[in-house]
Structure 1
Amino acid sequence: MTAEASVCVIIAAKNAAGTIDVAIRSALQEKEVGEVVVINDASTDETARVAQQSDDGSGRLRVISLPENVGPAAARNHAIKVSEAPLLAILDADDYFFPGRFAPMMLESNWDFIADNIAFTMESGGTATPSMFQSRARAISTLDFIEGNISRPGVQRGEIGFLKPVMRRSFLDRNGLRYNEALRLGEDYDLYLRALIKGARYTVIEHCGYGAVVRANSLSGQHRTDDLRRLFEADNAILSQTDLPMDVEHALRSHERHIRDRYELRAFLDAKRERGLAIAFSQLLTRPGAWTAVVGGIVRDKTAGLRRTDDGEAAPPVGLRYLLDGVPAVQK
């Protein structure tokens, strides 16, 4: 593997036969990519076959099929284990890279994690063309990262948790960091947070190289109530095991409450659906701390419903929406 081809692109895929070809081909077109490791996570469709057919003959693609579904965290850990490239990049199986994604990031120095801008699109064929933004690098602190992952009514959050950074394998190895395999929601957030707490230098540039396809049925958009519980427990584990600066600890406790409140609302709605309203309320009486979360969540849901279109569906985004604001690049 040459120094130029120093990135391993990891794609964890489950039942992604309809999108995996675009994802793989977009990765293989990048000269900085020395490996593409697809972990077929016990798919029941043609994901493995389609992935193999996406090979460009360069010898960089490896498709590994798992006999049992292990979830994205464990699948990515397996890919890290079997790969060799010094840099690691995650690509969701229904997303894709825009041409030239890695070159602007490789021009930056002094980083352990580096992420670029994301364009959210309805186009699944990889044909969208993003705006050209200046790179404009900036550092993300632990506090910035946590606060960027907390939703607040009436305030647009930074959505920093959606960023897809390139990670230095040496930093992960040196600090014993891997994805938390107990998580099937927020596994990226959890890894990046633990890395920042360990001192990771996290750089973000505004150049756009990642296309995230907006899908109502994406795996990232579906999660179980128990997934929320495991995520706030992961926050609690960090709080109990780590001596954090006061402002960071306060922000992390706010994030933990934010996720716990979502869990309490979902748990109440699950109980209502499965056992009836009376049982749901009787169970809620045993958790008085959950009242505010449940009542507030129901009010927010009802209010949000008033802002939906006439057919009851949320209006889809038009064109490309960018995660980060950017300054247009000067065209030569």
Structure 2
Amino acid sequence: MTSAAPTNVCIIIAAKNAADTIARAIGSALAEPEVAEVVVIDDGSTDDTAAAARAADDASGRLHVVRFEENRGPAAARNHAIAVSRSPLLGVLDADDFFFPGRMARLLAQDGWDFVADNIAFIDAAQATAAERKIERFAPSPRLLDLVGFVDGNISRRGVRRGEIGFLKPLMRRSFLDEFHLRYNETLRLGEDFDLYARALAQGARYKIIHSCGYAAVVRGNSLSGSHRTIDLRRLYEADRAILAGTGLSGDVAAALRRHERHIRGRYELRHFLDLKNHEGFASAFAYALTHPAALPAIVGGIVGDKTERFRRSTSPAPVALGGTGDVRYLLEGLAVDRAE
């Protein structure tokens, strides 16, 4: 007889106003035999997210729902889930996404990692129920991701929207997080995953990625992850600076982090300029640009890029609107070996 799969994984779901999708997310996590806990944090929802989450309980005793009366952000929600959970392995699932069956077994078949992630399939919301039949099976092709590759893989380019490898959703060893006192940065509401993984890699984390696809990211036009405030960009490039202020970084790593910091800071400068123009008028925005000459290349380049965007064809494999066509796009490139049954 085959022994039962060890239940040693906690799946963390930070949810805000996700009553329509939370049951599917929870159900996909509870269906994985290796999952010992599913911790849902209702982060100040104004709908029935908490009730919908509790209604998805399978009576196995593995589901725990905590409600924040006020929104604290995904980093705070995930840190609270880590604090109340006990499992040695931790994974994150967004409230409108779901797992394909067998994801945990494929990830846990790997060894030699502190973080391990698989491929992501981006699915149009209208096609989510039929997604499993459309997913191709990929040879695992495991490889380790270093900090330079990770940082450079999170610098987006025009025409390739939101395709950064920071979208990956790894399993994480609690022991590694605890050893280096790593938790999500609660000042961040954008890039909190990138920041945690970058800090872990700076501490020597082994981050393994495989091409097998077990995570379905649902593309929705009104997704909370698709919007952010100008101040969120500033806090993210300040987080880069905090890592750079640390000791022991190689020249290549520091250069990569500086590239990412300049990229995010450029996005911030453009957004800040446009905010000033919209709220205080062009004169105020122009005065800011003149008194901050270092910001001028980002402002001018961003405006020109925005004006010419419609003339460029997007090459993104990641979450652009799929238009209900049933297309499946993958974050990681790879050769399909056969169709899923």
Q: TM above 0.5, one fold? A: yes
Aligned pair 1:261/2:266, yes or no?
A: yes
Range that drifts further, 125-134 or 223-232: 125-134
Aligned 1:1-332 pairs, distance under 5 A: 4-123=6-125, 125-129=128-132, 130-153=135-158, 159-307=164-312, 316=322, 318=325, 319-329=327-337
Conserved in 1, the CA contact under 8 Å of 2:221 and 2:321? no
Q: 1:68 to 1:158 in 2, by over 3 A?
A: closer
Q: CA deviation at 1:300?
A: 0.7
- The percent of aligned pairs where both chains have the same amino acid is 61
Q: CA deviation at 1:156?
A: 8.3
CA distance in 2, matches of 1:306, 1:152: 15
Q: CA deviation at 1:68?
A: 1.4
CA distance in 1, matches of 2:161, 2:81: 34
5+ long unaligned stretches in structure 2: 315-319
Q: CA deviation at 1:278?
A: 1.2
CA distance in 1, matches of 2:321, 2:143: 33
Range that drifts further, 195-204 or 145-154: 145-154
CA distance in 2, matches of 1:97, 1:3: 17
Q: What code does the residue aligned with 1:173 have?
A: D
Conserved in 1, the CA contact under 8 Å of 2:159 and 2:312? no
Q: CA deviation at 1:285?
A: 1.4
The one-character-per-residue Cα deviations of 1:249-293 (angstroms, maximum 9, x if unpaired) are: 111100000000000000000001001111110122121111110
Paired residue secondary structure (2:136):
coil
Moved over 4 A (4+): 153-158
Q: What code does the residue aligned with 1:66 have?
A: F
CA distance in 2, matches of 1:39, 1:315: 28
Q: What code does the residue aligned with 2:328 have?
A: L
The one-character-per-residue Cα deviations of 1:92-121 (angstroms, maximum 9, x if unpaired) are: 011110111111111111100000000001
CA distance in 1, matches of 2:250, 2:48: 49
Q: CA deviation at 1:136?
A: 1.2
CA distance in 2, matches of 1:156, 1:216: 14
Q: CA deviation at 1:152?
A: 3.3
Range that drifts further, 268-277 or 120-129: 120-129
CA distance in 2, matches of 1:294, 1:116: 36
Q: 1:247 to 1:114 in 2, by over 3 A?
A: same
Q: 1:201 to 1:269 in 2, by over 3 A?
A: same
CA distance in 1, matches of 2:246, 2:266: 23
Q: What code does the residue aligned with 1:327 have?
A: L
Q: 1:171 to 1:126 in 2, by over 3 A?
A: farther
Q: 1:10 to 1:304 in 2, by over 3 A?
A: same
Paired residues, what number?
327
Q: What code does the residue aligned with 2:322 have?
A: P
Q: What code does the residue aligned with 1:214 have?
A: V
Q: 1:193 to 1:315 in 2, by over 3 A?
A: closer
Q: CA deviation at 1:219?
A: 1.2
Q: 1:85 to 1:231 in 2, by over 3 A?
A: same
**RMSD of aligned C-alpha atoms?**
1.9
Q: CA deviation at 1:159?
A: 2.0
Larger RCO (CA under 8 A, 6+ residues apart) = 2
Give me the TM-score of the superposition, normalised by structure 1: 0.94
Give me the TM-score of the superposition, normalised by structure 2: 0.92
CA distance in 1, matches of 2:151, 2:313: 29
Give 2:317's aligned residue: none
Paired residue secondary structure (2:33):
coil
Q: CA deviation at 1:306?
A: 3.5
